[in-house]
Amino acid sequence: MNRIIKIVALAGGVAALGLLVASASLASTHAKHAKKAHAVKVQHVKIVIKSDDEHGKKGSDGKWHDAFLPANFKVHKGARVIVTVKNFDDMPHSFTSPSLKVNKVIKAGKDLKNGKVKGVTTRFSFKAKKAGKFLWWCNKPCDPWAMAHVGFMRGYVKVK
């Protein structure tokens, strides 16, 4: 009697294990299909702002300039894009793009007593509805050369 119960229990256990393996492989198949069928829903983009003093980025004029690093980036069409900007410049900037329906002031970094600047984070989001190349720019008077040049205080968001 005892032995029979053991055997039955063992058989049940093996069957349960089989079921578990089957459902696990089914779940992974589902996950693969889901990835293919649905586009990326949320996408995170991280940007750092550095000033000319901090050697943000060297321009074609041979001088250092304020810059969003990176100023140009790609996102997935249909995604809700969450942008996190850490500003290491002690001046505010903006990420302004009427075509993406964004006009966000990027808060200034905080001046420390030792002369350095503590990065301050600003977060915003937009929906990448249509494919294309969308221009954004900084509308806060900052570094005039940088404001006029793509890759510094202006750039393109490529939606694909």
Q: Which residues bind Cu ion (CB under 5 A)?
A: 93, 138, 140, 142, 153
Q: What DSSP string describes 34-102?
A: HHHHS---EEEEEEEEE-TTTT-EE-TTSSEE-EEESSSEEE-TT-EEEEEEEE-SSS-EEEEEGGGTE
For Cu ion, the closer CB: 153 or 159: 153
Minimum CB–partner distance for residue 28 and Cu ion (Å): 46
CA–CA dist 109, 92 (Å, integer): 8
Return the residue nearest Cu ion (CB atom): 138
For Cu ion, the closer CB: 78 or 156: 156
For Cu ion, the closer CB: 79 or 93: 93
Determine how many CB atoms are found less than 10 A away from the CB of residue 143.
23
Minimum CB–partner distance for residue 44 and Cu ion (Å): 22
Minimum CB–partner distance for residue 113 and Cu ion (Å): 25
